[in-house]
Amino acid sequence: MEPGEFQGTIGRYHHESMPWWPEATRAASGSPNVLLVVLDDVGFAQLGCFGSDLDTPTFDRLAAGGLRYANFHTTALCSPTRACLLTGRNHHSVGMGRIVELATGFPGYDARIPRSCGMLPQALVPAGYAAWAIGKWHLTPEDEWHAGAPRDRWPLGRGFERYYGFFDGEAHQFGPALVEDNHLVTQPRPQEDGYHLTEDLADHAIAWINDLRAADPDKPFFAWFCPGACHSPHQAPADWIEAYRGRFEEGWDVWREAALERQKADGLLPGHTVLSPRPTWVPAWADLGEDERRVYERYMEAFAGYLSHTDAQVGRIVDALAETGDLDNTIIVVVSDNGASSEGGAVGSLNDLRAWNGMDRTVAEALDRIDDIGGPDIHNNYPWGWTVAGNTPFRRWKREVHEGGVADPMIVHWPAGIRAAGEVRHQYVHAIDLAPTLLALVGVGSPAVIDGIEQRPLEGASFAASLTDADAPDPRPTQYYEMFGCRAIRHEQWKAVVYHPIQVDHPPLEEDAWELYDLEADPSETTDLADRHPDVVADLVTRWWDEAERHHVLPLDNRPFSEFVLDRPPPVPPRQEYVYRPGTSMVPEATAVNVRNRDHRIVADIDVPTVGDRVEGVLLAQGSILGGWSFHLLRGRLIYVHNNTGLHAARIEAPAFLGPGPHQLAFQYVRTSDHAGEGALFVDGVKWGHGTVPHFTMNRFSITGNGLTCGRSEGEPPCKDYRSPFPFSGTLHRVTVEVDGEPWLDPETEADDALRRQ
C-alpha cells in the first residue's frame, strides 16, 4: 500500500497497535462477464444469421437468443476498427488512421495509441474485472514485435492481464508466430498432430475461464477473442473444407440474389432493397470457363470451411460458459472488423506473397494444386467475385468507405439482460459506440484518469437502450469515415461518399466528386442523388471537414507509402553486420537483416561432435513454407535453400559430411542482376558447393509474422528438409550476416504488402 493509506494505529508494541487491511476491489454483485468476438474480413452477408447459406450454427444460435444489429459500421480496416472498439474513440483520434505498418508523422496516423485514450481493460480491471486478450492484436508496430522490444504497446501494457495470440495482421493457421503474455512462444504441437490456431485460441479461452472459476466463482471477466478467421490464408482442417464440396456450383451471382432475399425475409434489410450492380471488373459467373468455375468454387469451399470451423471453436467457448454457469450473465458480442476482402484479386490467390513480389497468380497453377487449397502449403484467398457476394447487397469492399467496406454484422447475446430474443435492431451503431455501451451495461464509468494521465472524452455513445427498446433512437446522428483518401459522412438518413483509388492522383483529392445517397430509401447505394440535392451535399461536405479537423484526419493522403512513411526514422539504425545467437527467435522483418537484392554473407561458427555425419539442425532461417530461406545442416551436409513464394526453390548442397571439431560455415550470395545471383557454400574458407539463385525474393519473405530464427525453426519452415523446431544438434556459437550496399526497398510493393496483411 502507498504511504499515508494505512488507517490502523501503530504503537510501540503490538498490544498498543491495531492492524488494518484495505478492502479488496470487487466488482458489484451480479456484474456481467463480457466476451467480445472480433472476426476478420467477414462481410455483412457471410454469417448464416445475416443471409448466408454457410453453416454457422453457433453464431446463428447466439442471434436467435439475442439481437442482430443490421446497421453496425466499422472503419473499413482492421487495426483502426480494433482501436475504436477498445478505446471508444475514432481511429484518427487515437493515431490509428491506418494500419500500424503505414504510420506517418502526424497525430492521426502515428500508430501510437496515446495513454490519454485508455482501453476497455484499463477501465474494467480497476473495477474488479479480469481481462484477457486472445488472438489477433495488430495494434503494436512491427518493429516492436521482437523479444527485445519495449512492452508498453503489447496487450499487457494496455491493461490486459493475460495474452495469447499473434501480433501480425494475419497468421498461418497451422504454423503461427505466437506470443504469450510478454514473451514469444512455440506452438504447443505440430500440424501433423492436428494443430490448428483457432482451436488453440479457444483452448486458451476455455482454460482461462476455468482458471478464474477455480479460484473465484464470482469475479467477472472481459475476454477479447480475435481469431484469424476469416482473413487469408483461408486454412482449415481438411474435413471442414470437404464438407462444402459442390455447395457453390451456382456461383456468386445466384448466391448474391439468394442472400438478399434471405436478408429481406429476416428483416435485416427493408423490402425495397436492391442489389448493388456487380462491378464491371467482376465477370458474370455464367461467362466463366469450366476450369475457372472449378477453381473458384474450391477457393470458396476453403473460406466456408474456415468460417464454419471458427464458428465451432466459438461454440466450444459458449458451451464452456454454460458448464461454468456463466452463460446467462455473459454479454457476448460478435462483430467483424471490416467488409469482405478483395485481396485475392480477379482469379484468387494460392500465395498472397506472389503479388507483393511481382509475380502473377494464375488459374492454371491453382487447378494443378486444387487439392492443396486450404492446407498448410497454401496461402489461399478467394477471387473478388466472392468478395462482392460476401458484402451483399452493398457496394465495394474492405479499405473503402462505401457500405461494402464499412457495414458489418453484429450480434449481441445476453440472456440475463435481453428479453427480445431473435429480434433485429436497425439503430445506426459505429465501432466507437461499443466501448461506452459495454461500460454502461456493466455499470463502470469511463475513468477520468488512468495511471495518472487525464483521459480524453469518449467519442462514441451508448446504444444500451436499444437492447430493450426496438424504437430507441440512434446513439448519435453523425459519423465520419476516411481511409486512404476515401471519405464519407453519414448524417441522419443521408450519406455523402467519395471513392479515391489508392496511389492515384487523377483527379487530385481536392477535385473528387462527392456522391449522395438516402440510406433509408437506398441502403445499397445504387442511386446517386448528388445532382438533385446539391445543398445537402454542400452541408455534408462542410460537416465532413469539421469532423476531419476535430479528429485529426488531416492531412489527407491517399498514398499509403508516401514520403511521410519513407521519412520515418528507422527504429534501429541500419548496419553492415548483424550478429545472431542460438535462441534468437522470430525477429520481425522490420528489424531483421535485409538481404534482399544485395550481396551478403552468412557465417556460422560451430563445433561438431565426434560423429560429424549426424550433426544437423537450423543455423539461421527466415520466413515459412510460404516463402523464405534456410541455412542448415541435414545429416552432416551443409545446405542453403531459397524459397521464393513457394513457386521457385533454389537449393545449394555441400557434397560431403562435416568432420568433427570446430568449423566456420558460410553462405555467400553475389547479386548478378536485380533479384538474381550466385550462391556458394564454404567450410573453413574452402568452397564446398555453389549454384544459381535465379529468383531471389523481391520484397517480402513472410506475411504471417514468421520472422528470423537462429539455432532452430518456428512454425512451418521455409523448406521441407525438416520439421520445426529442428534445433542444431552440435554447438552453435553465433551466426553473423554481413551485407553490402543500401537496404532494398520498393515503396509501392511494400505498401501493397502492408495493406494486404491487415
pLDDT in tens, 30-45: 999 999 999 999 999 9
pTM (two decimals):
0.94
Find the range with the poorest average confidence among 4-8, 218-222, 339-343. 4-8
pLDDT for 186 equals: 92
Confidence check: pLDDT of 334 > 60: yes
Residues forming CATH 2.60.120.200 domain(s) in the chain: 577-742
Arithmetic mean of pLDDT, 739-756: 61
Arithmetic mean of pLDDT, 49-62: 98
Look at residue 437 and give its three-state secondary structure: helix
Q: What is the mean pLDDT of the chain?
A: 93
Helix (H) or strand (E) holding 651: strand 648-653
| Cβ-contact 307, 54 below 8 angstroms | yes
pLDDT at 69: 98
Is the pLDDT at 72 greater than 50, yes or no?
yes
The fold adopted by the segment(s) 577-742 is: Jelly Rolls (2.60.120)
So what's the pLDDT on residue 757? 44
pLDDT of 497 above 90: yes
For residue 296, name the pLDDT band (cuts at 50, 70, 90): very high
Which residue spans of the chain are classified as CATH 3.30.1120.10? 479-493+504-565
Q: Which pLDDT score, from 0 to 100, does residue 560 have?
A: 77
Q: Say what percent of the chain tops pLDDT 90.
A: 83
Mean pLDDT, range 412-435, rounded to an integer:
97
pLDDT at 748 over 70: no
pLDDT interval class at 87 (50, 70, 90): very high
User: What is the mean pLDDT of the segment spanning 155-164?
Assistant: 98
Query: What span, in angstroms and rounded, lies between the C-alpha atoms of 515 and 510?
Result: 14
Over residues 454-471, mean pLDDT: 98
Candidate CATH numbers 3.40.50.300, 3.40.720.10, 2.60.120.260, 3.40.1080.10; the one for domain 33-478:
3.40.720.10
Nearest to 481 by CA among 393, 392, 399, 564: 399
Instruction: Among 28-32, 322-326, 642-646, name the one with the lowest average pLDDT.
Output: 642-646
Q: Can you read off the three cell numbers belonging to residue 378?
A: 497454401
pLDDT above 80: residue 1: no
Give pLDDT, residue 640.
98
pLDDT, average across residues 176-203: 95
What pLDDT is recorded for position 506?
A: 77
- Kindly list the distances between the CA atom of residue 489 and the CA atoms of 110, 183, 402, 530, in Å, as whole numbers in the listed order: 23, 41, 10, 14
Average pLDDT over residues 348-366: 81
Q: What are the grid coordinates assigned to 327, written together? A: 452463460
Query: Using CA atoms, how far apart are residues 608 and 614, in angstroms rounded to an integer?
Result: 9
Per-residue pLDDT tens digits for 396-423: 999 999 999 999 999 999 999 999 999 9
**What residues are labeled active site?**
78, 138
Q: Check whether 284 has a pLDDT greater than 90.
A: yes
Per-residue confidence (pLDDT) for residue 73, from 0 to 100: 98
pLDDT at 564 over 90: no
Residues of each domain in the chain carrying CATH 3.40.720.10: 33-478
Q: pLDDT value at position 563? A: 66
pLDDT band at 758; cut points 50, 70, 90: very low
Q: What is the mean pLDDT of residues 721-732?
A: 94
Report the CATH fold assignment for 479-493+504-565: Arylsulfatase, C-terminal domain (3.30.1120)
Which residue in this structure is represented by grid cell 469475479?
A: 219
Peptide bond into 22 cis (omega under 30): no
Residues 322-349: what's their mean pLDDT?
96
How far is residue 432's CA from residue 435's CA, in Å, rounded to a whole number? 7
The mean pLDDT value for 649-665 works out to 93
Mean pLDDT of 376-398: 96
Under the banding of pLDDT at 50, 70 and 90, the label for residue 706 is confident
